[in-house]
Amino acid sequence: FTDQSTGNPTNWDWDLGNGQLSTTRNPVVVYNIPGIYTVKLVVRNANGIAQQIKTDYIIVNPTPTASFSAGTTTGCAPNSISFADLSSAPGSSITGWLWNFGDGGTSTDQNPTHVYQTPGYYDVTLQITSSQGCRSSSIRSRYIRIVPGVVANFAQVPANTCEAPYSLVFSNQSSGPGNLSYAWDLGNGVTSTIQNPSSVYSTAGTYPVRLITFSDYGCSDTLDQNIVLTDNVTQFSSPDTSCLNVGISFTNTSTPNPISSRWDFGDGGTSNSRSPSYVYDSVGVYTVKLINNYGNCIDSVTKTVVVGPKPYVDFTSVVNASCKAPFTVEFQDLTSGSSAWFWSFGDGTNSTEKNPRHTYNSLGEYDVTLTATFGGGCQNTVVKPVFVKVAEPSVEIANMP
C-alpha cells in the first residue's frame, strides 16, 4: 500500500482488513484467503489526527488450480500422446493454457496432442491463466517415458535342397525394448507365434511371409517379405558325337546360375569353368558329369558323348589334265557323312559346294585341297599335290637332217 496523506504525518496505523495491522508508512501484506477486504488508515502529526476508510477496497479472487493427465505415459518412439486439461478456476474461467512437453515442444491448446520422437523421460508443465488474470502451474517430473520402438526383421535360412519340397527355417532378427512377442503368417497357410518357426513348402513359387513383432510397452512393427522358391535345373548342351583331337564345347544352361561348377569328362579330365571346351585324345564313349554348387544345395547331371576317329576324306574328278587353258574340272566328293565342304583349287580360288565345277584360266600344275566337316565339329583334310595339270604338249623330232 502507498500512503498518499498530506500534512506530513509522523504516525501511521493501518488495518488491512484481514486481521493484520501495520505502523509502516507503506506496508506490504499477503492475502491468503479469497474475499473482499476493507482497509483503514489513521495518520497523526503534531497538529492532530485524520483517517480514511476504503470499504471493499481489496478483492482477492480464488487461485485457479492447474491439473492435467495424459492418454498414456509410456510409449514407443515415435509416439503421439494426447493431453487433457483438468484444471479448475472457481468463480472465473480459464482463458489461457501454456504447455511445455519437456522436449522443446510447446502448445497453447487446451487439450493438445504431441509427438515424442526420441526415447527418454520427459517433464510436462501446464500453466493456466484465469479470466481474472490469475495463474497456476502444474509440473509432473519424468511424467512421460518414451522407449525405443520395435523393429520387425527376419531372414530365411536357405533350403538345403535343390527342388521341392523345401523345408525352411526363419531366423527372427526383430529388436526392441521389453518382452517381445510375435505373429507369423508363413504364406503357405501356416501361422506361428514362436520366435523362429519352420515350415515345409511343397511346391516352388512365391510365398508372402508376414511377421508382426509386439512389445509389452504396446509397440508393434510389421514386415512383409516375399520368399521366392525356384526349382534348380541342372543341365548342359554339347554334341552327342565328336572325333579325336577336336575341341568339344560344353555349355552350362542351368538355372538359376550356379555359384560354381565342376566338370568330369569321363577320361580323368576335369574343369571348373562354367562352359568349357574339351579335347579327347582317345576314341571311346564318355560319360560327362556336371556338378553345380548353388550355395544352399549341390546338384548334378550326366550325358554321354561318343568320340570316334577322324573320318576319311577323299575326292576325284572326271578329267584333271588339259593341253590348254581355260580348262574346267568337275570335282566329285567321295567322303561319306560330311555336312560341309571347303575346296581350295590351288589358284587362289575356293568353293563350299559339295561337287564344284572350277575353271582354270592359266597353264600350270595345281594342288587341290578338300576340308570336310562332320557332325560334332569333326573335320579332316586331304591334299592332292599336282592334281590338276594344264600344260601345252611338247614335241621332239629326232634325226632331223
Confidence band of 285 (pLDDT split at 50, 70, 90): very high
pLDDT tens digits, 17-56: 999 999 999 999 999 999 999 999 999 999 999 999 999 9
Cell of 194: 514362436
Please tell me what DSSP assigns to residue 371.
Answer: E
pLDDT tens digits, 191-230: 999 999 999 999 999 999 999 999 988 889 999 999 999 8
Is 376 in a helix, a strand, or coil? helix
Backbone angles phi, psi at 261, to 5 degrees: -135, 150
Mean pLDDT of the chain: 94
> 295 in the Ramachandran plot: left (φ > 0), alpha (ψ -120 to 50) or beta?
left
pLDDT tens digits, 338-393: 889 999 999 999 999 999 999 999 999 999 999 998 876 788 999 999 999 999 87
Say if residue 308's pLDDT is above 90.
no
Asked whether the beta carbons of 258 and 293 are under 8 A apart, the reply is: yes
Q: State the Cα–Cα distance between residues 290 and 274, nearest whole angstrom.
A: 10
Q: What number is the average pLDDT over the span 107-116?
A: 98
Q: Which domains are assigned to the chain?
A: 11-60 (2.60.40.10), 68-147 (2.60.40.10), 154-229 (2.60.40.10), 236-308 (2.60.40.10), 315-390 (2.60.40.10)
Among candidate residues 90, 94, 100, the one with its CA nearest the CA of residue 128 = 94
Of all residues in the chain, what percent carry a pLDDT higher than 90? 84
Backbone angles phi, psi at 80, to 5 degrees: -95, 120
Among candidate residues 47, 50, 48, the one with its CA nearest the CA of residue 13 = 50
Question: Long-range contacts: 346-352, Cβ < 8 Å, 24+?
Answer: 346/387, 346/388
397 vs 205: which has the higher pLDDT: 205
What are the CA-CA distances from residue 310 to residues 205, 291, 313, 371, 380 (Å)? 49, 30, 9, 12, 6
Asked whether the beta carbons of 217 and 178 are under 8 A apart, the reply is: yes
> 245 in the Ramachandran plot: left (φ > 0), alpha (ψ -120 to 50) or beta?
left
Asked whether the beta carbons of 42 and 51 are under 8 A apart, the reply is: yes
